[in-house]
Amino acid sequence: MRDTTLAEPSRPQGREGARSKTARKTMMTVSSRRKRNEALTAYLFLLPLFIGAIIFNFYPIVRSLYLSLTETGFFSGETFVGLEQYTKLLQDPEMWRALGNTLTYAVVGLLGIPIAVMIAGLLNRKGLRFVSGYRIIYFIPVVTMPVAVGLVWKFLFSTEYGLVNQSLSTVGIPPIAWLTDPNTVMITIALVGIWASLGQNIVLMIAGLQTVPSDLLEAAALDGAGSIRRFFRISVPIASPTIFLVSVLTVIGSLQVFDLVFVMIGPTSPNVRNAETIVYYFYQTAIVEQNRGYGAAIVCVLLVLTLLLTLAQFRLQKKWVHYE
């Protein structure tokens, strides 16, 4: 009798267990459906981005690769020539000159990063008033049209009536042919590029310096470290990922420079060859001369150069960039 009475309650427990299993399966089914719906919603929101990337990024790259293997003219169609365009590029002295000018612009442009770091450090000091105003002043050139920037600096660097040479003449320095001397034209344009992009770099660097823990700086101050030492020994290493980001953006932007050269020098200047960049050479070849196949080859070389330099920066950043 005792055994039968003890065995009877096991039935409802088995039913409850089956019900709980059914409930768990139902909950799992509902959860999986919810996850699928959320994933579908996310893909629907990302679909315009994917379509835009295919239309405006992937397709132009594929089209340029195809055109670089063809030869075109004003009235003729596209004739497949294989790697002939790239062979011409390797033997083209003007292409090598444009490549050298572009790399010169990029190297000089990197000098603006230490300037941005120093200014950002000054603007990041505690108790400094009108910080927002200073940020706006430095950021104004970033939102200014490059054509306006180029025209203004073209007049400022004029050999005869430019304000720069007039200011130098007050201290006895003779006029300098900033935009007509082959030795100074590319450096002059690069300095204008530094001025135009300085505001963006300063804003990024301020954001990077604000990630430095204040208690770490206070501890270093208690140990006797001065403000300059704290800045270079603590703030700069911690903000090194931001410096790395700024350097990558600077190099990529330098390889794509065109508007400053077009406005400050112009196609009619006899010194245009000494300031010609890769993008300007592409414009002259593909747009003006309508040699689309050769222009596409120039663009593909620029794409490979950008990828190589970016990859080199990512490899070198392991030696000096510190991630927490």
Q: What is the mean pLDDT of residues 7-24?
A: 58
Radius of gyration of the chain (CA): 31
Burial 189-224 (b: 16+ CB within 10 A, else e): bbbbbbebbbbbbbbbbbebbeebeeeebeebeeee
Q: With bands split at pLDDT 50, 70 and 90, how would you rate the model's confidence at 242?
A: very high
- CA–CA separation, 309 vs 247, rounded Å? 11
Q: How many CA atoms lie within 13 A of 267 on its CB side?
A: 8
Show the 3-state SS of the chain: CHHHHHHCCHHHHHHHHHHHHHHHHHHHHHHHHHHHHHHHHHHHHHHHHHHHHHHHHHHHHHHHHHHCCEECCCCCCCEECCCHHHHHHHCCHHHHHHHHHHHHHHHHHHCHHHHHHHHHHHHCCCCCCCHHHHHHHHHHHHHCCHHHHHHHHHHHCCCCCCHHHHHHHCCCCCCCCCCCCCCCHHHHHHHHHHHHHHHHHHHHHHHHHCCCCHHHHHHHHHCCCCHHHHHHHHHHHHCHHHHHHHHHHHHHHHHCCCHHHHHHCCCCCCCHHHHCCHHHHHHHHHHHCCCHHHHHHHHHHHHHHHHHHHHHHHHHHHHHCCCC
Residue type, 205: M
Residue type, 108: V
* Mean pLDDT of the chain, nearest integer: 87
Supply the pLDDT for residue 80: 84
For 99-145, the pLDDT digits (tens) are 999 999 999 999 999 999 999 999 888 777 888 888 889 999 999 99
Residue type, 203: V
| 75 Ramachandran zone, left/alpha/beta (phi>0; psi -120 to 50) | alpha
Supply the pLDDT for residue 278: 95
Q: How far is CA 26 from CA 22, 35, 38, 153, in A?
A: 6, 14, 18, 71
Supply the pLDDT for residue 156: 94
Q: With bands split at pLDDT 50, 70 and 90, how would you rate the model's confidence at 318?
A: confident
Low-confidence winner among 67-76, 88-97, 178-187, 306-315 (lowest mean pLDDT)? 67-76
Q: With bands split at pLDDT 50, 70 and 90, how would you rate the model's confidence at 93?
A: very high
Whether the pLDDT of residue 10 is over 70: the answer is no
Q: With bands split at pLDDT 50, 70 and 90, how would you rate the model's confidence at 35?
A: confident
Higher pLDDT, 75 or 256: 256
Whether the pLDDT of residue 5 is over 90: the answer is no
Joined together, the tokens standing for residue 78 give 């596209």
| 212 Ramachandran zone, left/alpha/beta (phi>0; psi -120 to 50) | beta
